[in-house]
A and B are shown apart, each in its own frame.
Chain A
Amino acid sequence: MFGLAPSVTACAALALIVSLVTLVVGWRSWRGEAQTVGPGLEVLCCVVNAAALLFAYHHVFSVGLAARGPTLSRVGLAVSVLLERFGSLMPLTVLLPSLAAIAIALSWAGRMRLVQATPRVGWLVVAVVLFLGSIGAFVSGFSAYTASTTQPTAWQDRVAAAEEARYSLRRGAMVASLAVLAAALAVLQSRRTRRTQSHWAFTVVPTLLFGGGAAALFWYGRSLAAENARPVSMSYAYANTSLSVTPSAGMSGVGPDELVEAPLVLLRGDAIELDGQALKGGVELREGLRRRRALWQDMRKGEHHPGNVIVDASPDVPIKILAERLAHIRDSGHPNLRFRLTDSHTDVRPVLGTIVGSSFSAALVTLATMLGDCGAAPFEVVRLTSRWRSSKELVDAVVAERRAQKRVCVIPAGPHCRGDLADCFSRDFEVIRYAASMDALRARLDGGELDFVFLRGDTRLELLGRGTALAEVQKRTFAFNAPGAEAVRPWTRTENQIDALTFMRVASGPTLLETTTVIPEADDDKAMRTGAGLDADRQLVVFTFSTVPVTRHALATALLAVGCDEAIELAKGTLWVQLPALERTPQAQAFASGPFLALPSHE
C-alpha cells in the first residue's frame, strides 16, 4: 500500500477497514438507523490505529537507520527520515487517525441516543468483512514480502524464506489475531442484540479488550525488554534483512587502514557504481571522478586535492576488469586508493529481526603509472605471489603487506592494454624484494630458484648468475659513470629497443609493485657487502629476477623500470649499460630508495 513493509501495510489496511466500519456503523447509529455499537468497536479502532502507527514508525526508523545511519547525525537522521517518508506516512499519520476519530465520535453520539434497532445482519457483515479483510491483508502482505526478498520457486526455498521472515510472520499473526478478536466481538454484539440484554455481556466486552490488550502489550514489551537487555554492538552499521534491506556484498575482512571521506566506487563484476549512481563503463567512471575532482577544486581554491578514492570490489571481479577500472581511476587523478573491506556479523534480534552489521576498514594502495610515482616505506624480505586471478587475491596480498607496515604501489594496465587486454595478462609476473644477505642470494641462485641477480651500486652494476662463484661475479662488474665508461656503447635505436619498450609497457600492466626504503645500514649488511667486494659505505640496491630464462627483453625491462631508459643494448651473453640519468631523474631517485621489479617468469 504506501510503499512500506508488508506488515505495516497489513496493519494499516486493517486499521482502515476497522475505521471505515466504525464510521459506517457510527453514522447509522447517529442517524438512528441502527443499533448502537457499544465501546468494543471504538476501542478496537483505537488499538488497531495505534498499532498501525507504531509499526509504521518502527519500520521507517529501522529502514532509515540502515540506510542513513553512517552519514547522518542523530537529529539529521530523525529529520531526514521523517521528511523522506512523509509522503508514504501521511495516510497513516493523518488520514487514519482522523477517520478513526470521526468514526468513534459518531458512534459515541449514536450510543448516547440509545437508538433501538436490531441490525443483526449488519453485524454479521461487519464480522465477515473484518475477518476476510485482515486475513487477506495478511496473506497478501506476506506473499509480497517473500516475493520481494527471494522470489523462491522450490518449496524448500519458500520454507527458508518463511524462516527468514518469521519476524514479519509474527507481526502478521498479531494482525490476524486482532482481526479474529474483532470478528468474535462483532458476533458477540450481534448475538447480544438478539437476546435479552445480559449484564454479563457488557462486562465481558471491556474485560476481554483490556485483557487482550494487556496480553499483547506484555508480549510485545517482553521482546523490547529482551532487546534492551542485550544491546546491539555499537561498532557496526546495520542493515535489517527482515525488512528486505540487504547489505551490499563487498569484500569481507578487516583492513589495516582507516576509511576517509572520498568518492565510493562499487565494483560488482562488470557493473560499476560511483556514489550510488550506476555507470556504463570505465570511461564514465573516469569522467565522473574527474568531474568530482574539478568540483572539489572549484570549491576549495588553492588547496591540494588529496586524490582519495574508495573502491569496494566484490571478491569475484576478474583481475583483468579490476586492472582496467583501476587504470581509469588512476587516470582521473585519484591515486590514493583504499580497497574497502567489510567486517560483517549477523544478529537475530527479538524486535529488529535479523540484522547484518557492517564495519568498514580499508587497505591503502598508491596507483601509479610508473615506478617513480611510488613512494618509500620500511622494507623487509617479502615475496609476493603474482598469480592473482580475482580482486580478492589481489586485495588479500595488499592487506598482508599493509599489515606489515609496508606501502603498496599498484601499477594497473595502461591505455596500451585496452586494445588487447588478454596480452597484458598472458604472462605471469613475479616480484621479489630485497634479499637479506649475499649468502641467501647465493643459496637461492644455487638452488635454482633464481637465475640472475643484479647488484647495483652507485657506480657499478653487477650481475650474478646461477652457480657463479663470488670471485667470478666481480669480474662481471660493469662500471658506469667511471673512467672505463667509454667501453659502454651508446644507445642506438635498434629493434631491440623497440621490443624492450613494448615489452616494458606490457609487463608493467597488471603488476603489483612495492616501494621499499634504502637498505638498512646494519653491520652484517656492511660485512656482506665487503665480502662481495663492494664498497660498504655506498648505497646498494639489489634486483632479483626469477625469470627462467632471463631474456634480453626481461633485462631491458628491468633496466627500463629503474630509469635506465637512455642507453641499453643487449647482445648475447653481454650486457652493456649506460645510466647517465640515474642520479638525476625522479625515477632514479625513487628507485634509489627502493627496488621494484616485475618481470615475466617465463616467456
Chain B
Amino acid sequence: MRSERLRAWLVVVSAALFLVALLFHGYHLVAFTEQLMRLAAGALR
C-alpha cells in the first residue's frame, strides 16, 4: 500500500514539475517571440 502511494506521488510530483516547467518555458517563449516581433518592427526604421 505504501509503495503504491509512493509511486502515485512520484508520478504526480513529476507531472507537476513538468507543468511548471511548461509554464516557465511558455512564458519566456512568448516574451521572446514578442522581442523578435519588436526587432522586426524596429528594423524598419
Contact = CB atoms under 8 A, between A and B. Distances in A.
Binding between chains A and B: yes
Interface of A: 61-62, 65, 68-74, 77, 199-200, 203, 206-207, 210-211, 213-218, 220-221, 224-225, 227-228, 231-232, 234-238, 351
A199 B3 contact: yes
Nearest to B24: A221
Interface string B2-31: 011001001100110110111011011101
Nearest to B6: A203
A456 B17 CA distance: 88
Closest 8 CB pairs of A and B: A221-B25, A210-B14, A234-B42, A224-B28, A217-B21, A69-B43, A214-B21, A203-B7
A231 B21 CA distance: 22
A220 B43 CA distance: 27
Interface in B28-45: 28-29, 31-33, 35-45
A105 to B, nearest CB: 22
Given A217-B25, A224-B25, A224-B29, A199 B7 contact: yes
Contacts of A213: 18, 21
16 contacts: A69-B40, A203-B11, A206-B15, A207-B10, A213-B18, A214-B14, A217-B24, A218-B25, A221-B24, A221-B27, A224-B31, A227-B35, A228-B28, A232-B35, A234-B38, A236-B43
Contacts of A227: 28, 32, 35
Given A211-B18, A213-B21, A221-B28, 9 more contacts: A69-B43, A206-B15, A214-B20, A214-B22, A221-B27, A228-B31, A228-B35, A232-B35, A351-B32
A210 B29 contact: no
Contacts of B24: 217-218, 221, 225
Contact of B17 (A203, A211, A221, A231): A211
B35 to A, nearest CB: 6
A221 B41 contact: no
B42 A218 contact: no
A72 B40 contact: yes
Interface centre among B20, B29, B41 (most CB of A within 10 A): B29
A185 to B, nearest CB: 15
Contact of A203 (B10, B25, B38): B10
Interface centre among A213, A235, A238 (most CB of B within 10 A): A213
Interface centre among B11, B15, B43, B45 (most CB of A within 10 A): B43
A228 B31 CA distance: 7
A65 B25 contact: no
A214 B28 contact: no
B18 to A, nearest CB: 4
Given A199-B7, A217-B22, A218-B24, A207 B40 contact: no
Interface residues of B, number: 31
Interface of A is mostly: helix
Contacts of B35: 227-228, 231-232
Contact of B44 (A70, A199, A200, A351): A70
Contacts of A236: 43
Nearest to A57: B33
A211 B15 CA distance: 8
B18 A73 contact: no
Contacts of A70: 43-44
Given A65-B39, A77-B40, A228-B35, A211 B14 contact: yes
Nearest to B15: A210
B40 A200 contact: no
A203 B28 CA distance: 31
B30 to A, nearest CB: 9
A217 B28 contact: no
Contacts of A72: 40, 44
Contacts of A199: 3-4, 7
Given A199-B3, A207-B10, A220 B25 contact: yes
Nearest to B35: A231
Contacts of A71: 44
A213 B45 CA distance: 40
Interface centre among B22, B37, B38, B44 (most CB of A within 10 A): B44
Contacts of B18: 210-211, 213-214, 217
Contacts of B7: 199-200, 203
A555 B5 CA distance: 106
Contacts of B43: 65, 69-70, 236-238
Contacts of B29: 221, 224
A260 to B, nearest CB: 14
Contacts of B17: 210-211, 214
